[in-house]
Structure 1
Amino acid sequence: MTKDHKGEGNPSGPEVDEVSGIQTTGHEWDGLRELDNPAPRWWLIVWMVSIVFAVGYWVIYPAWPTLGGHTKGLFGWTQFEKLKVEQGEIFARQREHRRKFHAASFEQVNQDPALFEFARAGGAVVFKENCVACHGAGGEGRKGYPNLNDDDWLFGGAVGDIYRTIQVGSRSTHVDTHAAMMPAFGAMLKPQEIDDLATYVGSMNASQPPSVAWTNGRVLFETNCVSCHGAMGEGNRALGAPQLNDAIWLYGGDHDTLVQSITKSRAGVMPAWEQRLSVDDQRMVAVYVHSLGGGE
């Protein structure tokens, strides 16, 4: 319950708090009286400055709604014009970098840190838009699609080699595509011979003592596979023949998968990007792929 109090000895005058000596508002709630303290000076100053700032903002910037849209402000500033100007500056810098990149060789790009970072950033965008579906977001690849972070390259891992592969693809419709193709040995060798050959290929570097199947497989390898994959399984990039003496496998290195690969062969296709991307975009993505860690 609230009460209105008057000052003692002055029924019509304001009430003054006995403890603080400050005039009250005359209101009381459960014995608590409200003092009539003025607002702090700093608060009044901030309040008045805010009013002045608001009025100035309304005048300088577009703020008031009108039947035709809104007021334009003293200087005609808009966030859209600001964005347009900033984008223009970015595009101008981009055109300059593109001009330099277009005229530079891969060696010159690698020697220029700013140009290299520009090419790598542009290549990352092109890669995400065109290559991620097969090779993965980080170039890690998956079964049937090469890992671009390791040291195994079918047709070469130098940046120029990567650029060439991007241009013409592998077993694509491009007239100059990498057309390497492993024959299907299911029509040439007996099932047991294929099984022995898979045993040898899967354990070329194994420390286990050779078995009869391993020995037979080695003879078959020397007869049928050395011309492409090399005597030690080191591969041949000129032919696109993969290295077989490491632990990196495109389709899998377990025995059953090797039997399937030898029997039916593999015919993965990478499209040619020469007619799909600009020359600069192809070169940028080559720089990016080369920088992932497996480039030579």
Structure 2
Amino acid sequence: MSAGWSWYVIALVAFNILGCVWLLWWTARRRPGDPAPTETSHVWDGDITEYNKPLPRWWINLFYLTIIFSIGYLLWYPGLGAFAGYGGWTSQAEHDLEKSRQDARLEETFAIYRGKPLPELARDPGAVALGRGIFANTCATCHGSSAQGAIGYPNLADDIWHWGGQPEDVLATVMDGREGVMPPWGVVLRGMGGEQAIDQTARYVLAMASPDPAALRDFDAVRGKKYFDGVCVACHGADGKGNASLGAPDLTDDYWMYGKSMASLRETISNGRHGVMPAHGEWLGETRSRLVAAYVWSLSNTQAAGTGDTAE
């Protein structure tokens, strides 16, 4: 707050306080020549008279005490422009104090799960319930309440893991985040075979995931393999199975995070993709990260987790 605005607020507050004091004094005093409280000339039915008696002195004094209290309050707490107040109170400090209290209560709740392996947590109904609650608060915005994802956000309820599906992989994803980058190959492929090179590469990628072996013998798919071998094998491998250490997905399954259409594949190949999973370790802490990771891992490892059913 600038000095000008600060003085404006102080003046406005002082004006209102002084106005209240003047109003009390002006309305409470009696002047020479004022009619008696019983002489209002307001009479009904011959014997019902309206009086104009002043407030009792003790009542008026309570108003003055209220004004004095308000002045003390404004001096103790920051109520006068940029003045910080003699009490040193701030909303940030109040928030931090309350947060530390609530964090301490949460730590007591989560203490029994500290350091436990994910498979063990996944077999504990209480731990899974806590993990589900953490997931709903922090992960469902992107992955959905059922963890089945959306366009651009992976499905966590299946058995496909772009960064590895071992418990330690899932925990690392939650705590440290992931950043998957598919480079834009449009310029390179156009230099190798023109605009059709992008289409033929996309055709080959679709053919790899097709259950019909004949799809790989299609003319465009055959030409596309040449381009695939030239620019894509470094990450996705010669067989298209991907590389979990890079986050490069398996192109031979039938899961397509950005869609299976030719338009989507052309966009991916030409302009690339950049997916970011934020790191939650600092925010959630290790124990809560373990709980939510155990819940996610249990969705696709139902037998190991002992749930006996799927999230779907």
Q: Using structure 2 for the length normalisation, give the TM-score.
A: 0.57
Worse overlay, 223-232 or 279-288: 223-232
- 1:277 pairs with one of 263, 284, 287: 284
Cα-to-partner distance string for 1:121-161 (whole Å, 9 max, x where unaligned) = 11001000011111011101010000001121111112211
Distance 1:108 1:207 in 2: 42
Aligned 8 A contact 1:149 1:294 in 2: no
**Match for residue 143 of structure 1 among 151, 160, 164:** 151
2:214 is equivalent to residue 208 of structure 1: yes
> Higher relative CO (CA 8 A, sep ≥ 6), structure 1 or 2?
2
Describe the superposition over 1:10-43 as per-residue Cα deviations: whole angstroms up to 9, x where unpaired.
Answer: xxxxxxxxxxxxxxxxxxxxxxxxxxxxxxxxxx
Q: Partners of 1:256 and 1:128 in 2: how far apart? A: 33
CA contact (8 A) 1:97 1:118 kept: no
Is 1:134 matched with 2:146? no
Q: Is structure 2 residue 294 aligned with structure 1 residue 287? A: yes
| 1:99 pairs with one of 84, 91, 111 | 111
CA distance in 2, matches of 1:274, 1:252: 30
| Local SS of the residue matching 2:243 | coil
Q: Distance in 2 between matches of 1:104 and 1:288?
A: 13
Where do 5+ consecutive residues of structure 2 fail to align?
1-105, 305-312
Q: Does 1:261 align with 2:243?
A: no
- 8 Å Cα contact 1:199/1:217 also seen in 2: yes
Structure 1 residues 230, 144: closer, same or farther in 2, change over 3 A?
Answer: same
Does the 8 Å CA contact 1:150/1:293 hold for their aligned counterparts?
yes
Partner of 1:199: 203
CA distance in 1, matches of 2:164, 2:156: 12
String of CA shifts for 1:172-192, please: whole Å, max 9, x gaps.
Answer: xxxxxxxx4221001211121
Higher Rg of the two aligned structures: 1
Distance change >3 Å, CA 128–CA 149, structure 1 → 2: same
Q: Secondary structure, in 3 states, of the residue corresponding to 2:284? A: coil
Rounded Cα–Cα distance in structure 1 between residues aligned with 2:243 and 2:252: 12
Supply the RMSD in Å over aligned alpha carbons. Answer: 2.2
* In structure 2, distance between residues paired with 1:294 and 1:247: 20
Q: Per-residue displacement from partner, 1:44-101 (whole Å, max 9, x unpaired)?
A: xxxxxxxxxxxxxxxxxxxxxxxxxxxxxxxxxxxxxxxxxxxxxxxxxx97773331
Partner of 1:176: none
Instruction: Give the number of aligned pairs.
Output: 192
* Alpha-carbon distance change, 201 to 294 in structure 1, aligned in 2, over 3 angstroms: farther
SS at match of 1:269: strand
Q: Which runs of 5+ in 1 are unaligned?
A: 1-93, 172-179
Corresponding residue for 2:133? 125
Question: Which position in structure 2 is the counterpart of 1:252?
Answer: 259
Q: Secondary structure at the match of 1:203?
A: helix
Tell me the amino acid that sits aligned with residue 167 of structure 1.
M
Please say if residues 143 and 149 of structure 2, whose CA atoms lie closer than 8 Å, have aligned partners that are also in contact.
Answer: yes
Which residue type is aligned with residue 98 of structure 1? F
